[in-house]
Structure 1
Amino acid sequence: MAEVKKYKVTEPYLDLSCGLGEAPFWEKDTNTLRFVDIVKKKLHFVDLAAGPSSHKQWDLDFSIGTTADIADNDKEFIFGGKHGYGIMNRETGESRQLVAMWNEEERKEDGGGKPGKGKTREVRMRSNDGAVDAAGRYWVGTMNDPLVVAGNITDEGVLFRLNPDLTITREKSSVKIPNGTSWTLDNKHMYFTDSPSGCITKYPYDISSGTADWSQGETYFQCPFEGGVPDGHAQDEEGFFWVAIFGAGRVVRVDLKGEVVAEIELPTRCITCPGFCGTKLYITSAEEEDPETYPWSKKYGGAVFEVDVGVRGAPLNKFRMGSKP
């Protein structure tokens, strides 16, 4: 086994105290870092050339879990939000819903569902993580909204796929906390993380139809850290993955065989997602869930961290909207 390369980060790039920082995304054309705070309903931007002092944030009326750029559209981006897919103007913050995720039946009052909270399934759910495949389809995973159900993750989440013609399909159900989603560089396999499982699973993928063979999944990466689970991940140009280990204060680089070849140690436990901007990783985190047990983790919980790892990220796909909303 090759020696594991070590990185150690002791200070944040941005000390923001996010409730749940997520979805770091590089707007390459403007060299801007975009990320969200799901819990506090905020959208953040940083001009990377200008540095942390350029940080600005928008207060939102709803939560956003994931964002992606749109092909041939420099003014707007697409997002997975509280109730569905939406479009937002990156200059003004004006937004509109594009496609609802939940059907009419799921918008009816049902007595609060299994947790006994939230009048409808739509109210109890929210978007979490997502990614765009090479054909321009936007995959977004949904889960119980802890702010509504008080942490009782009992309803099943759904992994949705939004097609360029704006039709929406439910590709996978029975998920709990959907996270890192990506594809091999040859697009023959799809990776998907359901965090409570403790692993990233690899599935055969048909890029022409946009379907994964869910019956043929095999474990690609099993989290080796006690108390930690894989959260979001970023793929580099070599096809390796940089995986956030929520609960263990680390991001690890995983090779094509699923073995850890590099490790970034961070000064807080609840690490959520890395994202590439050039050769630098920008890493989001959440507030410490158990500050009495882990007092060392509280100070920088919710901060954003920066580390140069010397390898570039794989190019990010853009949603190819074939029909206008």
Structure 2
Amino acid sequence: MWAGHLKVTAGYIRLCNLLREIIHVAFSRERSTARYCTTMSSIRIETVVKEKNRMGECPVWEERQNCLVFVDINSQKVCRWDSNSKEVQCVPLEARVGSVALRKSGGYVVTVGTRFAFLNWGDPSLTTIAELESDKPNNRFNDGKVDPMGRYFAGTMAEETAPGVRARRQGALYTLFPDCSVLTQLEEVDISNGLAWSLDHRTFFYIDSLAYAVHAFDYDIHTGKIDRCSCRPVYKLEKEEAMPDGMCIDTEGKLWVACIDGGRVIRIDPETGKRLQTVKMPASRITSCCFGGKDYSEMYVTSATDGLGKVALTKEPNAGEIFKITGLGVKGVPQQYFTG
């Protein structure tokens, strides 16, 4: 691993932006307008949250409220969609919020800026638990998830200082334990993203987005520690799949990965390293996914508008919406609660 800066010329930036516009225009020709709903064989995709998210992320199904909780990172808010009333409620926060997780005692635990905090939805009020990375003012938390024993894992990343310019290897992966102590699990991370645990709890799956791959680590469920030396690749994304973002796991032990700028969610067998299924979505910037619904047979998928130019936005009317996929033929593992 190395640390430094990725630098590009102004001409290169203009070329990349032009290519992105061309890709999104071509991409959008396959997509319908208005409220999106389509059926592919037995699979059905529909919009459930029409409000646009600049950077929708970290969907979590809350069974006790029968709702979907998610964040809009760049709008600095945590939101909750009620599957019965179809209403969306949001709590604005004072900094970018990278992730949200359920708390067993009620409310939520969130990552805001570079700190862990408890969020009481009723007030609403925010209580800081721990502040990290004070020496890295350009960093923020990104994705997070609770492990099978109630520990909250969340990682950081460096923000871009200019289009196409980002300090490399500035992030880390942390664990917030129920006693509110914090452990550094991994360092020199680029963009800490998707997390999942195998069904036997012995393997931790992880995405550092700029590696363009899913990796696996041996995991000690009793101590909550990752074996750094056991890192191994599970799946390397193909060019058309673009960059991996959020991730979840189903009851068959297969991984589902959201592909940002790839406009799809893919299903991977972590044992064979093979892609088993591709579900193309009605937006290109697909950010994360989770299972939910009364029997966890529905998949909820977040997306983003940030990163799309004016032309692409006109061609992608469903960008930034939240989608529900049914008919996948598999069920997901219920969300875990932070026990602190």
Q: Please state which band the TM-score falls in when normalised by the shorter chain.
A: 0.7 to 0.9
Q: Distance in 1 between matches of 2:133 and 2:97?
A: 16
Aligned to 1:226: 240
SS of residue matched to 1:226: helix
Q: Distance in 2 between matches of 1:319 and 1:125?
A: 24
Aligned to 1:112: none
Aligned to 2:119: 88
Gaps (5+ residues) in structure 1? 107-120
Return the offset for 1:252. Answer: 1.1
Aligned to 1:63: 96
- Give the structure-2-normalised TM-score: 0.81
- Contact 1:288-1:297 at 8 Å conserved across structures: no
The superposition leaves residues 60-94 of structure 1 with CA deviations (integer Å, 9 ceiling, x where unpaired) of: 222211111122x12x2111111210001122221
Indicate yes or no: 2:64 matched with 1:29: yes
The aligned amino acid for 2:246 is G
The superposition leaves residues 82-135 of structure 1 with CA deviations (integer Å, 9 ceiling, x where unpaired) of: 1210001122221111111225xx2xxxxxxxxxxxxxx1x3111100111122
Aligned to 1:307: 325
Q: How does 1:1-325 map to 2 (within 5 A)?
A: 7=43, 9=45, 12-51=47-86, 54-71=87-104, 73-74=105-106, 76-103=107-134, 106=135, 121=136, 123-146=137-160, 152-155=165-168, 156-226=170-240, 228-256=242-270, 257-277=272-292, 278-287=296-305, 289-291=307-309, 294=312, 298-308=316-326, 309-321=328-340
Aligned to 2:11: none
Aligned pairs, how many?
295
Cα distance change of structure 1 residues 80 and 247 upon mapping to structure 2, 3 Å threshold = same
Return the offset for 1:250. Answer: 0.1
- Contact 1:17-1:302 at 8 Å conserved across structures: yes
Return the offset for 1:310. Answer: 3.4
Return the offset for 1:293. Answer: 7.3
Return the offset for 1:13. Answer: 2.2
The superposition leaves residues 222-274 of structure 1 with CA deviations (integer Å, 9 ceiling, x where unpaired) of: 11243611110111111111110111100011223232222211121110001
RMSD: 2.2
SS of residue matched to 1:136: coil
Q: Distance in 1 between matches of 2:70 and 2:281?
A: 19
- Spell out structure 1 runs of 4+ moving beyond 4 A: 4-8, 148-151, 292-297
Aligned to 2:31: none
- Contact 1:25-1:33 at 8 Å conserved across structures: yes
- Contact 1:6-1:262 at 8 Å conserved across structures: no
